[in-house]
Chains A and B, each alone.
Chain A
Amino acid sequence: MSSLEIIIQSIYVIAAVLFIVGLKRMSSPTTARTGIVWAGIGMLMATIATFFYPGVENFALIAIAILLGTIIAGYTAKKVEMTEMPEMIALYNGMGGGAAAAIAAVELFKDHHLPVSVTTLALIGGIIGSISFTGSLIAFGKLQGMVKGTFRFKGQHQINLLLLLGTLVLSVLVVAGFDGNATLVIMVFVIALILGIAMTIPIGGGDMAVVISLYNALTGLAVGFEGYVLQNYAMIIAGTVVGAAGTLLTQLMAKAMNKTLISVLFPFGETTQASGDAVEGEMKPIEAGDAGIMMAFAQKVIIIPGYGMAVAQAQQKVWELSQLLIDRGVDVKFAIHPVAGRMPGHMNVLLAEAGVPYELIFDEDEINQEFKSCDVALVIGANDVVNPIARTDPSSEIYGMPILDADYASNVIVVKRGQGTGFSGIENVLFFLDNTRMLYGDGQAVAADLVNSIKEL
């Protein structure tokens, strides 16, 4: 090993340490911010060192590609609204999967005889990376609203299984000595790319967080495998750590949503909207002025934000409203369901951005007993997470999911754009209760109306 190689390898070791320490720091709120910086330094070091890697040429091409990638991703990542973070993670994760697949393709196309173990892992990593690539893009498209609806048909899972078998059989052929046969290799990748699309398209938007997390873990795994192909230990370690951590994270998320990974990945039936009986009673509307008075003279108000608040960009106005109420001596608290929004922690991030202090924000298990003593529960843009049917109807899809007990409050005000159902497609029993009033309109506009009505008092 030349002294240059020793230096490069040493830098990779340091980078691997920085990745792991960075990830560890990111898993605690107090150290999270420095964690990403540590990992970032590791990445910068590893990237620069790689330019001096023996045998690496094509510097102009590499520089242009990095520049382009950096500009595109840097620009979009800086510009995007906080509400759109989940889909951006999906997008960048998909890019990583695509890169892993590209590495596999380049290595397999090269006319050199690789050992069987290397060819095998290159193919597996390439297949996983390809699935993660197109799958993440579909997830991105779904959350952006570019890909609409869930395409489900009978025998879908069997077809996907056939696709998976197809790509695996072709891989075996490649390993068995048809290497150098570019057509076979291309077919492996094409089928894997199609499989990524086919797997993701039947999954509903509400489950996308779990799916993105899964693809994140898969990309990590693919990177680890390609690291073996290139004999690059920094890639093996970073990829495998993310693969394992991502898998655990996926399970934690699925659990918080009261789902299993299997039920997310293999949704059954044409639609899962079979919600049983229609709900009795009717939704009773209220005007912003009346709702404002109701809250202004309350002792205690609990605000329950959901994805609708994020879409309407209403968090600032909601905080302004809360401040007015607090000034009047009202006890205001925010209740956040673990899966409110598109991802766990999504609402916390948004409220923090608007300036809501930590100590006003409560988790579901911290605040649920307080609803009984609460005068007004203001539900803004949340739906399934406050549906009492999760407690009462075993036939419901969301039965058993822990919910926020908003229905126990003396009065419930629901801010909602229209009369539709939530992500799960289930009618919300809460909206039909006697103590519930519906305040229709765009979240931000309604919050502004509420602010004005309280100011006028």
Chain B
Amino acid sequence: METFIAIYIFMLAAFTGLEVISKVPAILHTPLMSGSNFIHGVVLVGAIIALGMAETNLEKTIGFFGVLLASGNAVGGYVVTERMLEMFKSKKDNE
């Protein structure tokens, strides 16, 4: 049953993703790509769990790199997106 619940979640999340993006102007393509890049940085949660439960040295080593890479994804993704979207502010405030 768990599996079917997961399938429903996959399906609904996919439709949500399509819906959210459907009417986006071209100028936002790059920031939006960057923003969604940040959102899959949630892989950090999984990496922490994987490393947190790792037992052997091999598991710990791989898990360590997992957490390192994942936090890079999340932090880098956030800063880059924020900087890019900051540009949209300066325009308005200048007016």
A contacts, CB < 8 Å to B: 12, 15, 19-20, 22-24, 26-29, 32-33, 35-37, 39-40, 43, 46-47, 50-51, 53, 55-59, 61-62, 64-66, 68-70, 72-74, 76-78, 80, 82, 85-86, 88-89, 91-93, 95-96, 98-100, 102-103, 105-107, 109-110, 117, 182, 209, 212-213, 216, 219-220, 223-224, 226-228, 230-246, 248-249, 252-253, 256, 338, 343-346, 348-349, 352-353, 355, 357-358, 363
Contact = CB atoms under 8 A, between A and B. Distances in A.
Contacts of B86: 33
Which of A26, A99, A237 counts the most B-chain CB atoms under 10 A from its CB?
A99
A57 B87 CA distance: 41
Contact of B80 (A89, A95, A182, A209): A89
Contacts of B38: 36, 39-40, 43, 92
Contacts of B41: 43, 92, 96
Contact of A72 (B31, B72, B91): B72
A345 B27 contact: yes
Interface residues of B, number: 83
Given A58-B54, A216-B33, A246-B33, A235 B68 contact: no
Contacts of A77: 75-76, 78-80, 83
B37 A92 contact: yes
Contact of A50 (B16, B45, B63): B45
Contacts of B29: 249, 252-253, 256, 343-345
Contacts of B10: 224, 228, 236, 240
A29 B88 contact: yes
Nearest to A347: B27
B85 A33 contact: yes
Contacts of B23: 27
Which of B18, B28, B71 counts the most A-chain CB atoms under 10 A from its CB?
B71
Contact of B40 (A24, A32, A80, A219): A219
Interface string B55-67: 1101110111111
Instruction: Classify the interface of chain B: helix, strand, loop or mixed.
Output: helix
29 contacts: A12-B45, A26-B28, A26-B35, A27-B23, A40-B38, A43-B38, A43-B42, A47-B45, A58-B54, A66-B67, A68-B68, A73-B79, A76-B76, A77-B79, A85-B34, A89-B37, A89-B77, A95-B73, A96-B70, A106-B51, A216-B36, A236-B6, A238-B40, A241-B17, A242-B37, A244-B17, A343-B33, A345-B29, A352-B88
Contact of A345 (B22, B31, B64): B31
Contacts of B67: 61-62, 65-66, 69, 99
Nearest to A341: B30
Nearest to A344: B29
Contacts of B65: 65, 98, 102
Contact of A103 (B6, B14, B37, B50): B50
Contacts, number: 370
Contacts of A228: 6, 10
B26 interface: yes
Given A73-B71, A76-B76, A106-B62, A248 B21 contact: yes
Contacts of B64: 61, 64-65
A7 to B, nearest CB: 15
Given A27-B28, A216-B36, A346-B30, A95 B76 contact: yes
A182 B56 CA distance: 13
A232 B45 contact: yes
B50 A348 contact: no
Contacts of A26: 28, 31-32, 35, 81, 85
B68 A65 contact: yes
B18 A244 contact: yes
B37 A55 contact: no
B85 to A, nearest CB: 5
A329 B63 CA distance: 63
A53 B39 contact: no
Nearest to A218: B40
Nearest to A39: B39
Given A77-B75, A95-B70, A241-B16, A357 B95 contact: yes
Nearest to B82: A36
Given A61-B64, A96-B73, A110 B55 contact: yes
A88 B47 CA distance: 21
A59 B51 CA distance: 9
A398 B88 CA distance: 31
Contacts of B80: 77, 80, 85, 88-89, 92
Nearest to B65: A102
A99 B70 CA distance: 5
A95 B72 contact: yes
Contacts of B83: 77-78, 82, 85
B1 interface: no
